[in-house]
Chain A
Amino acid sequence: MNKKLILLTAFLMTFFFSEAQRVASSPDYIRTLTSQWEGERFEDGRPKVPDLYLERLENATLEQIWGYLGRKGYNNQVELDWVILKPGETMVGRVVTTQFMPSRPDLDSIVKAQGKAEGHSQHGGINIWPIDMLTKGDIYVADGYGKVKDGTLIGSSLGNAIYGKTGKGVIFNGSVRDMQELKATEGFNAWVKGHDPSYIKGMTPTSINAPIRIGEVTVFPGDVAFANDYGVVFIPAHLVEGLVISSELTGLRDEFERLLLQQGNYPSGEIHGEWSDDIKNEFRKWVSEYPRELTVNKEQIEAYLKKQD
């Protein structure tokens, strides 16, 4: 019993903590975390969800994404209650994660030495290490454990650096400074828990691209983040393609139903309920003349209509 237990424990611990000595996760570790993703990956191991899907997702709603993830058994992917730098915008991108912890001298010295060995910059603060690693289309997601005063993970300089590298912004369970200047950085946006004029103090980044917790959500590197006025949802990379197709179909159906309701040619019960062949044919015709390019193809539309039977 005891031997078995020790073995099991040793093994589990190997799985969980084999990265403990690293600050930034190794590509192998990230691949293991995201093993259900079969597509292209970045050099750092993160899933590279195609740009096309990111663009398409910008038209989705929080409810569509939430509904799809819920049906797949992912019930803890949405976080609410944000301070948004520029409300009214939607931001979609691939996640780079960083975990901050309250500093303690013994651990700090290990993080510093290890970060140096991994080749992270020795100029400026250690909070810029994750920013150095960002690429186009990334969103910098950090857990600053909700600390606001003395918990400002970036100010305007780092904000501009992030925008320059990613074309996107940040999502922090923490705070920023320089809200005014950041607001003037066109294209950049931030979902944060607060803002404060103070500098970051007493915090250490203990991991980069490891799983982190943002409120109610466990976030992995390479997840796709969707953020708008109503909340932030983190989508596991391997579910994005299905989601894009599904939410496009749902969106088309909603739009088409509204059109039919306005025209008043059918009783509303028929429009909301199971579609008759007549309505299905009208839908096929309407989709084929749709003014915008669609991700879904004919077969996917037919499969969708069949499922409604």
Chain B
Amino acid sequence: MNLRLTVILLSLLGICSSIGALSAQTIPRDELIFLTSEWDGERFSDGRPKISDDLLERAKNIGIDDAWTVLQNEGYTNQFDGNWKVVQDDVAVVGRALTAMYMPSRPDIQKNIMHRGTTSDGRKGNTNSWPIDILTQGDVYVADGFGKIDAGTLMGATLATSIYNKSGNGVVFNGSARDLEALKKMDGFNAFVRDFHPSFLEDMVLMGLNSPIRIGDAIVLPGDLVIAKNQGVLFVPAHLAQQVILTAEFVSLKDQFGFEMIKTQRYTTGEIDNQWSNDIKQDFLNWLKKNPELGTMTRTELDEVLSKRTW
């Protein structure tokens, strides 16, 4: 092992020096931290923001519309994309984004990338297995396959099994997948793709790993909180995850209260589905007091969370 490591290190050094200042400039961890510098919590060893497992669990229960509204309020207007096909209805995919960018292959760059992959590691197989090798539990593999369907299948049943094993999660592909029938048998697994196709992957090369990518109308950074549900996929910047989840949790309480008020005809729909009056706010706080299992809140906290649009 040590000898092999030395050999690898030496060959890496050789390659590094041949590309000169390229690799001397920066190291990847720094770059990831730089791109996600508003995140000040825990990070993976590769620099990716590590949203806590607790938040991931809570994120599974929030509404995608409520989360979207919070992002909209914060000026993040390009974080949602719709128009998906899925393996299973009603299996949400929630986790930390690991991003990959594929591009149409051209021999000059493909040769370099494959050469490096195979010589420094004896690696076999296409570049589309490389992102999968670095998945960890709670990750969501998010890939831009530029919407290619025929010969754009980024995984079949085999890679899907590996993805599910490593991440415990499904995937989001702006591209396609094969083996739909076999994928359907994987309990708990889901894939948000543009379509399914029986073809093999061809003429595509991995050009970015954990770099910013575009998924339809949305921009995705590594470490974003992915919330993929029937309606579509939302990418929440890591540093906003907590705020989004807290607010969405509040909104679901608020909705529960609102439905009760409308049913009992204490307020009209128009009054509830709008900026709340002082009376409604007070009634809400009283209602919370009567239902302590739902949590507590002060008037200041309520004003704070209601200061931006929440309906």
**Chain A residues with a Cβ under 8 A of chain B:** 3-5, 7-18, 20-21, 26, 28-29, 32-36, 72-77, 101-107, 110, 145, 202, 206, 211, 213, 216-218, 220, 236, 238
A213-B103 in contact (CB<8A): yes
B120-A11 in contact (CB<8A): yes
**Chain B residues with a Cβ under 8 A of chain A:** 1, 4-5, 8-9, 12, 15-16, 19-23, 25-28, 30-31, 34-38, 46, 74-79, 103-109, 112-113, 116-117, 120-121, 123, 130, 133-134, 146, 203, 205, 207-212, 214, 217-219, 221, 237, 239
A20-B107 in contact (CB<8A): no
B12-A11 in contact (CB<8A): yes
Identify which of A17, A75, A220 contacts B31 (C-beta below 8 A).
A17
B13 to chain A, nearest CB (A): 10
B79-A104 in contact (CB<8A): yes
Give complex CA distance A269, B193 in Å: 52
B30 to chain A, nearest CB (A): 8
- Given the interface pairs A7-B8, A106-B38, the reply to whether A14 lies near B23 with Cβ below 8 Å is yes
Give complex CA distance A82, B19 in Å: 37
Give complex CA distance A75, B111 in Å: 14
A101 to chain B, nearest CB (A): 5
A226 to chain B, nearest CB (A): 16
A21-B77 in contact (CB<8A): no
B116-A12 in contact (CB<8A): yes
A9-B21 in contact (CB<8A): no
Identify which of A15, A101, A211 contacts B103 (C-beta below 8 A).
A211
B5-A21 in contact (CB<8A): no
Sample of 13 further A-B pairs with CB below 8 A, known A12-B117, A35-B108, A103-B219:
A4-B8, A4-B121, A8-B8, A17-B209, A20-B35, A26-B22, A26-B25, A74-B106, A102-B218, A105-B76, A110-B34, A218-B109, A236-B106
- Given the interface pairs A8-B121, A16-B208, A20-B211, the reply to whether A76 lies near B104 with Cβ below 8 Å is yes
B212-A101 in contact (CB<8A): yes
- Given the interface pairs A102-B217, A110-B37, A206-B212, the reply to whether A8 lies near B19 with Cβ below 8 Å is no
A103-B78 in contact (CB<8A): yes
- Given the interface pairs A28-B20, A28-B22, A202-B78, the reply to whether A107 lies near B104 with Cβ below 8 Å is no
Identify which of B27, B133, B211 contacts A5 (C-beta below 8 A).
B133
A74-B107 in contact (CB<8A): yes
A237 to chain B, nearest CB (A): 10
B117-A21 in contact (CB<8A): no
Identify which of B4, B22, B203 contacts A15 (C-beta below 8 A).
B22
> Contacts of A238 on B, CB cut-off 8 Å?
108
Give complex CA distance A3, B112 in Å: 23
- Given the interface pairs A36-B108, A76-B105, the reply to whether A15 lies near B19 with Cβ below 8 Å is yes
B104-A32 in contact (CB<8A): no
B14 to chain A, nearest CB (A): 12
Give complex CA distance A14, B210 in Å: 11
B71's closest neighbor in chain A, by CB?
Answer: A104
> Contacts of A77 on B, CB cut-off 8 Å?
106
> Contacts of B107 on A, CB cut-off 8 Å?
72-74
A13's closest neighbor in chain B, by CB?
Answer: B28
> Contacts of B113 on A, CB cut-off 8 Å?
12, 15
Give complex CA distance A35, B19 in Å: 10
> Contacts of A110 on B, CB cut-off 8 Å?
34-35, 37
B207-A16 in contact (CB<8A): yes
B134's closest neighbor in chain A, by CB?
Answer: A9
A11's closest neighbor in chain B, by CB?
Answer: B12
A145-B214 in contact (CB<8A): yes
A157 to chain B, nearest CB (A): 26
B75 to chain A, nearest CB (A): 5
> Contacts of B217 on A, CB cut-off 8 Å?
102
A106's closest neighbor in chain B, by CB?
Answer: B38
Give complex CA distance A15, B16 in Å: 9
A309 to chain B, nearest CB (A): 29
B78-A104 in contact (CB<8A): yes
A76 to chain B, nearest CB (A): 4
A13-B210 in contact (CB<8A): yes
B210's closest neighbor in chain A, by CB?
Answer: A13
Give complex CA distance A102, B81 in Å: 12
Identify which of A9, A21, A28, A213 contacts B19 (C-beta below 8 A).
A28
Residue from B12, B76, B205, B212 whose CB has the most chain A CB atoms within 10 Å:
B212
A33-B211 in contact (CB<8A): no
B219-A104 in contact (CB<8A): yes
Give complex CA distance A77, B107 in Å: 11
Give complex CA distance A177, B74 in Å: 29
B135 to chain A, nearest CB (A): 11
B222 to chain A, nearest CB (A): 10
B49 to chain A, nearest CB (A): 11
Give complex CA distance A34, B205 in Å: 16
B126 to chain A, nearest CB (A): 14
**Pairs A–B under 8 Å by Cβ, sample size 11:** A8-B123, A10-B46, A13-B28, A15-B22, A16-B211, A35-B108, A35-B112, A77-B106, A106-B221, A211-B109, A218-B103
Give complex CA distance A236, B12 in Å: 27
A10 to chain B, nearest CB (A): 6
A7-B12 in contact (CB<8A): yes
In the A-B complex, the 6 residue pairs with the smallest Cβ-Cβ separation, listed nearest first, are: A102-B78, A76-B104, A13-B28, A218-B103, A102-B219, A20-B31
